[in-house]
Amino acid sequence: MSFAGFKLPTLAVASRDFTASIVVFLVAMPLCMGIAIASGVPPEKGLITGIIGGIVVGALAGSPLQVSGPAAGLAVVVFELVRDKGLSALGPILILAGLIQLIAGILKVGGWFRAISPAVVHGMLAGIGVLIVVGQFHVLFDARPLPSGIQNLLAIPGRLFGLSATNVSGVEQAFMIGLLTIAAMLGWERFRPAALKQVPAALVGVMVGTLTAFSLGLTIDRVDVPQSIVAAVALPAPDFLAQWIDPSIIVAALAIAFIASAETLLSAAAVDRMHNGVRTDYNKELRAQGIGNLLCGVAGALPMTGVIVRSSANVQAGATTRLSTMLHGIWILGFVALLPWLLREIPMAALGAILVVTGVRLVSLAHVRHLFHSYGVLPALIWAVTLVAVVAEDLLTGVLVGIALSLLELVPHVRRLGLKVEMPDETQGRCMALAGSATFVTLPKLSDTLDALPMDGPTCLDVSRLTKVDHTCAELLKEWLARRRAAGHPVELTGASYKLATMTA
């Protein structure tokens, strides 16, 4: 049954989506507030983004099971923008970033964001993880992070040596709550009963930290949210368009649009690997994200992206349609509207502890080992250099340096970068032959042609005439083969060298 073009889910599907939405809501609440604090803005700004990401973007998204909201990956960028230009500049920047994403989606360039080297993306995320850890470490002491990652790192020993075992004050109390929150999260993940596996560790950590601080009457900093969520909405000034004349505002908007789009579309690709349902329409997803960020700019909230932690929780909880994502936004809105007093009992140190754990997990050493063993030194070097540049300089510099290094993979093949796709008529579209170079330059074409193969039976792929396969396309091929085989649709891979066959096995 459908109404006004919207297909209504069956009762069984709606029941699964309802349950999944509660799980995602419980995961999203502490993360929305924690990321806002890590971004240097009030926690309610993150909650507004979570509401918009759930209700609006959830309804429009090209990836139905992906959850959108404030992302740790943009916390460092927003922190620096708010520090240098003030909170009032964030709205105009996000409106412009949203328009850029919306136009990019209309022009159908969403697939090009997938062409960014996985080494660059994971190096960027690892650098962000390091910055979050060294910044949020100071929040564990009820202190504000310092202006740069290097300063935060150098100040860590002083924080630790400044603790006193004999004169316990608010600093020691906050640090105790932070450590207790981390211990509760890690302990829950390791020992939680099977019947409660859907209860998120971040929620358990916040509950333990909050109940402990409340029962002991600790005098530590707590979350400050307004009585009404409407009061947290800050519309841009009437002359906000004039700020677009400032080149630094334009650069900031471009950086947010680029990073948010790349993280969103890579997250969507990861979500596709988790289920066998509807595949992502990348351009539709990009348009939805643009509308979401435009609305976040109008409301004076945080930027949003598709986020893998909440999205994976959504899939694992059994969601099958976009209803789950939309409902989780409604639950956030209802909680903030009806129970703001409860949020004001949460210690800041507990939210800082959640972000410390989140930051550590962004530094995926397993991924760089995979790059090194599968593809050699260069991708691993790109990962490491991107990470260092993000920490030492800034996020945009790190990404640009990583992309520049990725071009080195093309140098030996600069004269033959074309990719030819052949589909013999006698195979009725079930067989494909690739010839030439499969590099990130041709990845959108490769992705579109692979997805064009029918999903209702066996197919074959001939790569005997491929002269070059870089690690970006090799990862794409690997993911495509894994998805086909997991769905029970065998693929006959012919003509592969030993190395390519190993990488895509």
Shared domain check, 408 and 426: no
263 near 32, Cβ under 8 Å?
no
Shared domain check, 423 and 409: no
Shared domain check, 331 and 403: no
Domain coverage including residue 403: 363-413
Domain stops at, among 348, 376, 391: 348
Query: Coil, helix or strand for 359?
Result: helix
Q: What is the pTM of this model?
A: 0.79
Residues in Cβ contact with 434 at an 8 Å cutoff, skipping those fewer than 6 apart: 419, 420, 421, 422, 446, 461, 462, 463, 465, 466
Angle, in degrees to the nearest 10, between helices 118-139 and 348-362: 160
Within a domain: residue 355?
Answer: no
Within a domain: residue 85?
Answer: yes
**What's 429's domain CATH number?**
3.30.750.24
Angle, in degrees to the nearest 10, between helices 149-161 and 118-139: 40
Q: What would the two tokens of residue 425 be?
A: 């008529």
Residue 384: alpha-carbon gap to chain centroid: 20
Of 346, 329, 354, which Cα lies nearest the Cα of 75? Answer: 354
Shared domain check, 164 and 130: yes
Shared domain check, 306 and 251: yes
Shared domain check, 389 and 298: no
Within a domain: residue 255?
Answer: yes
Per-residue pLDDT of the chain (505 residues; tens, 9 = 90+): 444 445 656 777 788 889 889 888 988 888 899 899 889 899 999 999 999 999 999 999 999 999 999 988 788 889 989 988 889 899 999 999 999 999 999 998 887 777 778 888 888 888 888 988 988 899 899 888 887 788 888 999 998 888 887 777 888 999 999 999 999 999 999 998 988 887 888 889 999 999 999 999 999 999 888 888 888 888 888 888 888 888 989 999 998 998 899 888 878 877 887 777 788 888 999 999 999 999 999 999 999 999 877 888 888 888 889 999 999 999 999 998 888 888 889 999 998 898 888 888 888 888 889 888 888 898 899 999 999 998 888 777 888 898 888 887 777 666 667 888 888 777 777 888 888 888 888 888 888 888 778 877 788 888 888 888 888 888 888 888 887 877 777 888 887 764 555 555 5
Shared domain check, 315 and 206: yes
Of 434, 61, 99, which Cα lies nearest the Cα of 267? Answer: 61
Shared domain check, 128 and 107: yes
Shared domain check, 179 and 317: yes
Residue 9: alpha-carbon gap to chain centroid: 27
Shared domain check, 197 and 90: yes
Shared domain check, 205 and 66: yes
Structural domains in the chain (count): 3
Shared domain check, 275 and 403: no
